[in-house]
């Protein structure tokens, strides 16, 4: 029958060539058997409408062909879906933080009024969220089709679960209930108690770090259109210094080094997550990335376009600029420069401390 043959051709087009003929022959026998049973009930040959209704009962060619294909029958299956959801929530949380920083920068620089900045930030956050969800979905699609799932999915430990408890608390209702409960009981956790409750294993830290750095990498390279704080949009002059022009020059010079740093960080975090959070591997990576970050801060201090504004030659001069910052009166210049100077020095000291700690873990193995 013409309708049956057209139906079978549509199914055959979706099947692999190696098994196509056998499957079509099996399906033809099944359909013809149904048609014969229908003909026996009717006492006559069914017309085209009745045959088409029968074929609809068999199923759409795409659906029928899928039954005979091997491999996953879902974009992201039930085993990976919770991981996909957690990755989306974590990435969106990072995006919100970056967007808020961009919002504050644009308002404080006088580039936009508060209402306009909020509107643009929401629009950028929405488009960025669509992009990042698409990227995470693509990663989930690829993982779903691997024969062996990553070890951090199958070989998890209870110590890894602290991160996921935090991820489940990212909603307004939960936080409002906790704040209300704390107010009623009059008990507030100390800093050490909060830190202890938020502890996570090296594997959990590696996964969350990889997600965060991936979001920042996509934003830095312009693949994630969010938090519009591009240098050309911040061409403001503060205390007689054109920081917008300086920022544009810094971004131009540091674009590829920062891109490679972020990409390496994502790959490294995924590697240490797959290795179960190996202590020495993590320590070696912390030393390497700490050294790279420290070198970048030295570049900012000595050779970048910002250097003439923040550089001081002695500790005494540094202390004098810090003291002047706290005794600054309206109309005095150099306030922002002194703040940037402190930030760079503090960040460099933090990276040195990180390298020293990592060296200790590398030697001790714990």
Express each pLDDT in 209-247 by its tens digit. 888 888 788 778 877 655 445 544 554 666 677 777 888
> According to the 3-state scheme, what is the secondary structure of 178-230?
HHHHHHHHCCCCCHHHHHHHCCCCHHHHHHHHHHHHHHHHHHHCCCCCCCCCC
166-188 confidence digits (pLDDT tens): 444 445 444 455 445 545 544 44
Q: Centre a 10 Å sphere on the Cβ of residue 64 and count the other Cβ atoms it contains.
A: 19
Q: Work out the mean pLDDT of the chain and round it to a whole number.
A: 77
What is d(CA 338, CA 329) in angstroms, rounded to the nearest whole number?
14
Question: End-to-end alpha-carbon separation of the chain, Å?
Answer: 74
37-93 confidence digits (pLDDT tens): 988 998 888 888 888 999 999 988 888 888 887 766 778 888 788 878 888 888 888
Residue pair 284/358 in contact (Cβ under 8 Å)? The answer is: yes
Final residue before a domain boundary, out of 67, 85, 119: 67
Note whether residue 117 is domain-resident.
Answer: yes
What pTM does this model have?
Answer: 0.58
Note whether residue 12 is domain-resident.
Answer: yes
Do 80 and 188 belong to one domain?
yes
Do 100 and 224 belong to one domain?
yes
Final residue before a domain boundary, out of 228, 247, 262: 228
Do 63 and 164 belong to one domain?
no
Percent pLDDT > 90 in the chain is: 17
17-33 confidence digits (pLDDT tens): 888 888 899 999 999 99
What is d(CA 167, CA 14) in angstroms, rounded to the nearest whole number?
40
What is d(CA 314, CA 312) in angstroms, rounded to the nearest whole number?
6
Note whether residue 244 is domain-resident.
Answer: no
Note whether residue 253 is domain-resident.
Answer: no
> What is residue 153's predicted lDDT score, i.e. its pLDDT?
65
Closest of 135, 138, 155, 262 to residue 204, by C-alpha: 155
Do 184 and 321 belong to one domain?
no
Do 88 and 219 belong to one domain?
yes
Final residue before a domain boundary, out of 228, 260, 293: 228
Do 199 and 78 belong to one domain?
yes
> What is residue 259's predicted lDDT score, i.e. its pLDDT?
92
Do 37 and 130 belong to one domain?
no
Do 48 and 83 belong to one domain?
no
**Total domains present in the chain:** 3
Note whether residue 270 is domain-resident.
Answer: no
Q: How many CA atoms lie within 13 A of 125 on its CB side?
A: 19
Domain enclosing residue 296, as ranges? 278-366
């Amino acid at each position: 029958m013409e309708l049956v043959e057209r139906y079978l051709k549509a199914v055959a087009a979706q099947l692999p060539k190696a098994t196509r003929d056998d499957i079509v022959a099996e399906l033809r026998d099944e359909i013809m058997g149904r048609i014969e049973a229908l003909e026996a009930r009717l006492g006559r040959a069914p017309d085209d409408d009745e045959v088409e209704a029968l074929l609809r009962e068999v199923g759409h060619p795409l659906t029928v062909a899928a039954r005979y294909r091997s491999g996953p029958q879902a974009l992201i299956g039930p085993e990976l879906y919770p991981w996909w959801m957690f990755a989306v929530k974590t990435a969106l949380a990072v995006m919100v933080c970056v967007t808020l920083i961009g919002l504050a920068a644009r308002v404080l620089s006088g580039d936009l009024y508060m209402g306009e900045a909020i509107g643009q930030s929401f629009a950028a956050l929405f488009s960025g969220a669509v992009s990042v969800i698409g990227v995470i979905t693509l990663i989930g699609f690829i993982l779903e089709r691997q024969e062996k799932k990553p070890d951090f999915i199958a070989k998890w430990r209870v110590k890894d679960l602290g991160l996921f408890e935090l991820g489940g608390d990212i909603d307004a209702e939960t936080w409002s209930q906790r704040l209300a409960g704390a107010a009623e009981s009059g008990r507030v956790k100390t800093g050490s108690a909060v830190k202890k409750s938020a502890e996570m294993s090296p594997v959990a830290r590696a996964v969350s770090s990889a997600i965060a750095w991936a979001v920042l990498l996509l934003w830095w390279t312009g693949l994630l259109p969010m938090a519009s704080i591009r240098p050309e949009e911040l061409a403001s002059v503060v205390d007689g210094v054109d920081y917008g022009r300086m920022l544009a020059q810094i971004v131009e010079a540091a674009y590829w080094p920062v891109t490679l740093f972020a990409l390496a960080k994502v790959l490294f975090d995924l590697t240490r997550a797959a290795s179960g959070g190996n202590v020495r591997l993590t320590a070696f990576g912390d030393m390497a990335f700490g050294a790279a970050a420290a070198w970048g801060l030295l570049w900012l201090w000595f050779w970048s376009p910002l250097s003439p504004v923040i550089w001081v030659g002695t500790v005494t001069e540094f202390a004098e600029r810090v003291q002047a910052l706290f005794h600054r009166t309206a109309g005095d210049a150099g306030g922002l420069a002194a703040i940037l100077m402190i930030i760079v020095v503090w960040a460099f000291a933090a990276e040195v401390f990180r390298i020293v700690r990592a060296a200790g873990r590398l030697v001790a193995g714990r």
